[in-house]
Amino acid sequence: MNKEIIICNQVSKTFHTARGDVKVIGQLDITVKENELVVLFGPGQCGKSTVINCMSGLEPVSTGEMTVAGKLVEKPGPDRGVVYQRTALFPWLTVMGNVEYGPKVRGMAKKERQERARYYIKLVGLDGFENSYPNQLSGGMQQRVGIARAYCNEPAVLFMDEPFGHLDAQTRYLMQEDLIRIWEKEKRTVVFVTNNIEEAIYLADRIVVLTNCPTTVKTEYPISLPRPRDYVDPEFLKLREVISAVVDKTL
């Protein structure tokens, strides 16, 4: 039995704005086990990204407690990697520069960190592109750099906030297949946010369905279909129908 690595205990988040308080997260309880791939699935604007931002430490929680690997989350840290919705690469750095950035600022020796970066660049299938700049790469390739950069810090937990949201349906399939391949080779705890049900079922060990804002857990589905999963398998399609029906509607 794997131990629990993320514990989100009665967490709430309220933003104070000029137009008044906006409560985005209600009383949220989520636990994630080590090396589990959990998908947070919910309607648009339900607060999925805010949950990720609280887990990664980019946003402080308003009430409740968030712990990762036994430590209270108070600020971002190298033990928690984030792959963003928009490819947040440094445009003035090459692929190598982007991927080695984390270890570099933590003072790792050049030889060691570049060796490590090269390993992850190869893992995401970008060997040969070490010296390319982000604007020379396609959308799918940029997102691969983002994944390699997050992995290169060797974090305990990886957060992915709709990383494939702006890719076309076919590139998305490719990236999903690759993500599972990478994850199976380099097991990590992954919390993956999406509003695409196909993607959720393809990837997840467990899908946590969130409610509309202020968001809480609506229900959970362990997904036990064998991998690699088939998008047109009858059981896959059945799950898609069941989970789609349960999600809150946004107009």
Partner 1 sequence: MDEIKVKVDHMTKQFGDLLVLDDVSFEVKKGEFLCIVGPTGCGKTTFLNCITKLYEPTKGEILINGEPVDLKKHNVAYIFQEYSTMSWLTVAENVAFGLKMKKLPQAVIDREVAEVLAMVGLTQYKDYYPVELSTSMLQRVVIARAFAVKPELLLMDEPYGQLDVELRFKLEDELLNLWRKTGTTVIFITHNIEEAVYLSENILVLTNKPTTIKERLVNSLPQPRNVVSPEFIDVRNRVTELIKWW
Residues 6+ apart with CB under 8 A from 37: 183, 189, 190, 192, 203, 204, 205, 206
Q: Does residue number 232 form part of the binding site for partner 1 (CB under 8 A)?
A: yes
Q: Does residue number 241 form part of the binding site for partner 1 (CB under 8 A)?
A: yes
CB of 109 to partner 1, least distance (A): 38
**Six-digit token pair at 207?**
């899908």
Contacting partner 1 (CB under 8 A), which of 3, 92, 169, 224? 169
Residue with the two structure tokens 């998305």: 172
For partner 1, the binding residues in 48-107 under the rule CB under 8 A are none
Rounded Cα gap, residues 223 and 205, in angstroms: 5
- Residue 184 or 233 with smaller CB distance to partner 1: 233
- Residue 79 or 177 with smaller CB distance to partner 1: 177
Rounded Cα gap, residues 31 and 98, in angstroms: 31
Compute how many residues bind partner 1; rule: CB under 8 A.
27
For partner 1, the binding residues in 38-57 under the rule CB under 8 A are 43-44
- Residue 1 or 251 with smaller CB distance to partner 1: 251
Contacting partner 1 (CB under 8 A), which of 171, 180, 181, 205? 171
Q: Which amino acid is at 236?
A: F
What are the CA-CA distances from residue 178 to residues 20, 86, 164, 203, 249 (Å)?
43, 19, 12, 11, 31
Rounded Cα gap, residues 107 and 129, in angstroms: 24
Q: Does residue number 250 form part of the binding site for partner 1 (CB under 8 A)?
A: yes
- Residue 177, classified by CB atoms within 10 Å of its CB into exposed (0-12), middle (13-18) or buried (19+), is middle
Q: Does residue number 219 form part of the binding site for partner 1 (CB under 8 A)?
A: no
Please answer whether residues 26 and 248 qualify as being in contact, where contact means their C-beta atoms are separated by less than 8 angstroms.
no
Q: Does residue number 173 form part of the binding site for partner 1 (CB under 8 A)?
A: yes
Single out the segment in contact with partner 1 by CB under 8 A; choices: 32-40, 96-104, 219-227, 235-243. 235-243
Query: Which residues of this protein are in contact with partner 1, per CB under 8 A?
Result: 43-44, 138, 165-166, 168-171, 173-174, 177, 195-198, 232, 234, 237-238, 240-241, 244, 247, 249-251
